[in-house]
Amino acid sequence: MARQRTNAYYDSHWEDFSDLVYPAVKIERARDFFRPVLNSINDKKTILDIGCGDGVHWNYLKRIENSPVIYSGVDISTRAVNYLKGIADKSEGSFFVMDACNLDFPDNHFDIVFAYGVIGYTDDPQSALQEIQRVGKPGGLIGIFSPDIKGISKTILVATRAIAKLSGNRGKRIMANLLVPFFGLARSETQISLRNASWRQVCEVILTDIAPPTLKIINYQEMINWFDNLKIKIKYDSADYKTILWGIKS
C-alpha cells in the first residue's frame, strides 16, 4: 500500500513537471556531485542511477566527453520512466520502473551506483542503501546525496510538511506557489531560486520537499554509520559540504 501511494504521488508529480527544461544551476549541482569521482567515470563503466526522476544526472553524464558510460536509470514513477524512454536514444541509456528498496538486478552488477536526494524519500532508507550496496561491484563506487538539514531549517521543513499533509494536492500547489518568492533566501542545497530559475522550476523543487508522502531527514553522521555498517569505505566526504558521500564497496 505504501509503495502504491508513493508511486501514485510521483506519477502525478512527473505528469506535471517532466517536461521542464533543466535550469543551469541544476546541471551545476549534478557536476558538483560527480566532481570527486570524475576520473573514475570512463569508457564502458556501468552506472545505475537510483531515482532518475527528470533525468538530470543522465543528461549530465551523457555530456561528459570521451566517457561513453553504460547508463541505467530506475524510478518508482512509471510516468518518469516512460518520459525518459521517449526522449532518450537507446544508445544513451536504459530506464526501468523499480522500487529502490527492491532492485531487480543481480548482486555485484554495476561499477558505479548512486542515489541523489532519493533514499530519504523511500519507505525504508536503510534497506535502500543495502540494495545499492548489493548491486554494486566489489571495488565499485557508491554515491549518495542526502541533505544534512538541521536547526531552524529542519524545524521549518517539518512544520511545512505537516501543514501540507492536511492539504489536498491543490492545497500543496498553493503552498508551493506562496513559497516560491522566498525560496533561496535561506541556505538551500539545490541553490535554486528565482534568480536562476523560472517560477515553475522553483515550484517543482519546493514540491519535492513538502509534498511527498514519505521523507526521512538523514543526518551526516547517520549516513557515515550506515556506510561503515555495510563495509563501504569512504572515498570522499567534506566537513564543509555534508551532503555528498562517495564510497568504495569492500
What's the pLDDT band for 3 if we cut at 50, 70, 90? confident
User: How far apart (Å, rounded) are the C-alpha atoms in residues 247 and 139?
Assistant: 9
Ordered structural domains, the chain, with CATH: 2-148+216-249 (3.40.50.150), 151-210 (no CATH)
Cell of 194: 528565482
Q: Is the pLDDT of residue 29 over 70?
A: yes
Contact 186, 5 (CB under 8 A): no
Predicted pLDDT of residue 7:
87
Helices and strands counted in the chain (H then E):
9, 7
Residue 49 β-bridge partners: 73, 114
Predicted pLDDT of residue 69:
85
The angle subtended at Cα 104 by Cα 8 and Cα 123, nearest 5°, is: 45
Distance linking the first and last C-alpha atoms of the chain: 35
Predicted pLDDT of residue 239:
67
CB count, 10 Å around CB of 230?
Answer: 17
What's the pLDDT band for 34 if we cut at 50, 70, 90? very high
User: How far apart (Å, rounded) are the C-alpha atoms in residues 62 and 93?
Assistant: 9
Residue 71 β-bridge partners: 47
Predicted pLDDT of residue 67:
65
Residues 150-155 have a mean pLDDT of: 86
Average pLDDT of the chain?
92
For residue 241, give Cα distances in angstroms to 78, 146, 246. Answer: 33, 11, 12
Residues 89-98 have a mean pLDDT of: 90
Predicted pLDDT of residue 60:
93
- Looking at the chain, the whole-number percentage of residues with pLDDT higher than 90 is 73
Predicted pLDDT of residue 240:
67
Q: Is the pLDDT of residue 1 over 70?
A: no
Give the tens place of pLDDT for each residue, 193-221.
999 999 999 999 999 999 999 999 998 89
Nearest Cα residue to 227 out of 203, 250, 196, 211: 250
Between 1 and 2, the more confident residue is: 2
Residues 243-247 have a mean pLDDT of: 94
Q: Is the pLDDT of residue 11 over 70?
A: yes
